[in-house]
Structure 1
Amino acid sequence: MPFNLLEALSDVVSLFYNDVQRKGIELRLKNDRSVPVWIAGDPVRLKQVLNNLVNNAIKFTDQGQIEISNRLLDSPDEHLIIEFSVTDTGIGMSSEEMEEIFKPFKQLDNTYERLNSGTGLGLAICRKLIEAMGGKIGIESHPGEGTRFWFTITTQALHSVEPTSEETEHQADAHRGKQILVVDDNAINRKLITTLLTDRQVVVDEAESGEHALTLFRQKRYSLVFMDIRMPGMNGMDITRAMRKIEIEDQRTPIIALTAHAMPQEIEQFLAAGMDESITKPVSELGSRYFCESLFWASKPKQTAKLHATVYACGARRPAYVA
């Protein structure tokens, strides 16, 4: 997918502007002019990785600055190898900590309730995303001297690719005015999904908790709900069960699970709770687009035709079916 790299990097900086202002630190963007503006790839995955790295840097930096930078490492054949870095002046970490930093965060039990969140899960996902884009990720740090996370991607330079006004208007007409609810306790995740949907002329509401989601669900008729599974208090399955009790029988709203879990037995639990399908985080632009186009018209409870969509999760494709 062609995308504007400068716009993607600017989106990351804008997302954290208020956070760095509150802490009194500086967030800088250093762009290598030899890196093309338009490249091929997945801007959502790229921003997901950068968002995780910048978010962690802000947590552990109380003074000084955080810098996002890129540089062109090599250009074999028609490809480009670009390195991205997130460097902070924070507390740093030891060699022992660096050995553990990319290992997945492990829960103490198998429940979906989460009282505390850690950075391990985000960094483990970052590594999967980077590897899916043909790159590597690493870290350089010393206690008290800050940290530098770096990663590479392999891509291609492209000429500017903008949709025509007719194409943009046609896509917007298909979804104009439809209402979508995004339920996730993580503000960054909500922002990413909302950003993916803004160009489709839909109305997106966000809820950070089960109670807030149910309040909105009682007030409005939604065409689609994106539901995080693991949240404090009511989890996504509990919220879905409550929504199914609220809605009118002939006005079933498609509910899509957002989860880092994709095991068959877990997906069966989601479906049993009343969900229609699941998307493995992080959600890509293509994944959200195809789900929207398919599921906007799949809200009849007795529909027998199966709708097909394509979900992109950590670089893999899988067919999705909605009964």
Structure 2
Amino acid sequence: DDQSLLSFDVEDTGPGITPDGQARLFQPFQQLDDSSTRRFGGTGLGLTIARRIANQMDGDVVVRSTPGLGSVFTFTARVECLPDVEPVMMQDVAAPGAEDALRILVVEDHAVNRMILNAWLTSQGHRTEMAEDGEQGLAAASRQAFDIILMDVNMPVMDGLTATRHLRARPGPNAATPVVILSASARRQDHEVGLAAGADAYLNKPIDFAGLARMLSDLTRPSFTRAEASAAA
């Protein structure tokens, strides 16, 4: 047989999930906590998409969980065994010169997302400062000027839309700094809400870094307008 069934377990020691929560986990647009200040972001589609992909690979995604003891997610997939293949190298986006380096504030509650954004931005020659929620982002924006602010939407303490409204409403070094909203939602109405809050552009997650590079270049052009950003969002 040239096929193998792969099985992966991801185990945590978190709060666990109730039976009712487990029943909703794989339903589209379902969140265990759907408030705008929830600790974890997203639209409630990740596990739904993951299960459908696994099903297409003759596998599945299932969960075992006990409240108070953590959870175990199991992913299976049937794959074809192949001989050694030549690795494919990813094409890098050209890094800017020193004169194009930007000072960028990243407001994002998810530690892994902050790490990825910081790694990519610094690899492109930009300087970054990180904030974990909207309140921290406003504090950072009050201390120094930035060229761009990347703002997540769903964060604890203060969400990104509220933070953007406060940023635009108060005087300070970043009252007019371009703000890019980062969100997993691709719905047009959510884009419009972000722009109405005072953002200049909207970028969907997972982030297309080539698209982000173009957006950073566009937003720092002296001739760039919010009308262009709205049309491109």
TM-score relative to the length of structure 1: 0.52
The percent identity for this pair of structures is 20
Instruction: Give the match for residue 186 of structure 2.
Output: 262
Please, which moves more after superposition, 295-304 or 192-201?
A: 295-304
Structure 2 SS opposite 1:258: strand
Asked whether the equivalents of residues 184 and 208 of structure 1 are also in contact (C-alpha less than 8 Å), the reply is: yes
Paired position in structure 2 for 1:290: 211
- What SS does the aligned partner of 1:150 have? strand
Residue of structure 2 aligned with 1:160, choices 79, 83, 87:
87
Distance 1:174 1:130, change over 3 A: farther
Q: How does 1:117-196 map to 2 (within 5 A)?
A: 117=39, 124-128=45-49, 131=52, 135=57, 137-139=60-62, 141=64, 147-152=72-77, 159-162=86-89, 170-173=94-97, 177-196=101-120
SS at structure 2 position matched to 1:171:
coil
Please list the CA deviations of residues 49-94 of structure 1 after superposition, one character each: whole Å capped at 9, or x if unmatched: xxxxxxxxxxxxxxxxxxxxxxxx83xxxxxx88461244869889
Residue 272 (structure 1) shift? 0.9
| Counterpart position of 1:113 | 36
Counterpart-to-counterpart distance in 1, 2:135 and 2:21: 38
Count of residue correspondences: 222
Return the match for 2:8 from 68, 85, 101: 85
Q: Is the 8 A contact 1:253 1:299 kept in 2?
A: no
Give the Å deviation of 1:105. Answer: 1.0
* Within-5 A mapping of 1:192-231: 192-231=116-155
* CA shift digits 1:127-163 (9 cap, x unpaired): 4256469655412648689734215498997523457
Unpaired stretches in structure 2, ≥5 consecutive residues: none
Closer, same or farther: CA 179–248 of 1 in aligned 2, 3 Å: closer
- Cα 1:153–1:204 shift into 2, 3 Å: farther
Q: 1:222, CA displacement in angstroms?
A: 2.1
Q: Which residue of 2 aligns with 1:246?
A: 171
Q: Is the 8 A contact 1:130 1:152 kept in 2?
A: no
Q: Contact between 1:176 and 1:200, CA under 8 Å: does it hold in 2?
A: no
Residue in 1 that maps onto 2:232: 321
Distance 1:163 1:95, change over 3 A: closer
Task: Report the CA distance shift for 1:159/1:230 in structure 2 as closer, same or farther (over 3 A).
Answer: same
Residues 139, 148 of structure 1: 8 Å contact kept? yes
SS at match of 2:181: strand
Unaligned runs of 5+ in 1: 1-72, 75-80, 309-318
Alignment CA distance shift 1:201-1:117 (3 Å): same
SS in 2 for 1:292: helix
The answer to which structure, 1 or 2, has the higher relative contact order (CA under 8 A, 6+ apart) is 2
**Shift of residue 321 of structure 1?**
0.6
| Secondary structure at the counterpart of residue 86 of structure 2 | coil
